Amino acid sequence: MEIWINPACSKCRSAVDLLDAEGAEYTVRRYLEDVPSPDEIRAVLERLGLEPWDITRTQEADAKELGLKEWPKDAASRERWIEALAAHPKLIQRPIITADDGTAVVGRTDEAVRDVLGR
């Protein structure tokens, strides 16, 4: 499995600590440094079963600057959102854990991280 993290994020650190405590095998991707491509974002969204606006941190300064709260949340605007996430990775909700079974979760709670461990 892989976990996308921002090391400065307490939720990310908690998720990594829980994975370590459970002896999970995983790789870390510091997604602010190793920025996901639009294709990688599309693939993670498919695994999550979510839309790009569902994993967008709309309170970030970049989001406010872009006016994301005003963007339509529809199929016609989906690519615009994905491009924004790729161009501004701080906007991606974290941590995202991709499981070996092809699914993924946004691991903001211990319960979500344990859920992915059980897959």
Q: Which residues are catalytic?
A: 9
Is 19:31 a contact under the CB 8 Å cutoff? no
The amino acid sitting at 43 is A
Strands, E, within the chain: which ranges? 2-5, 27-30, 96-98, 104-106
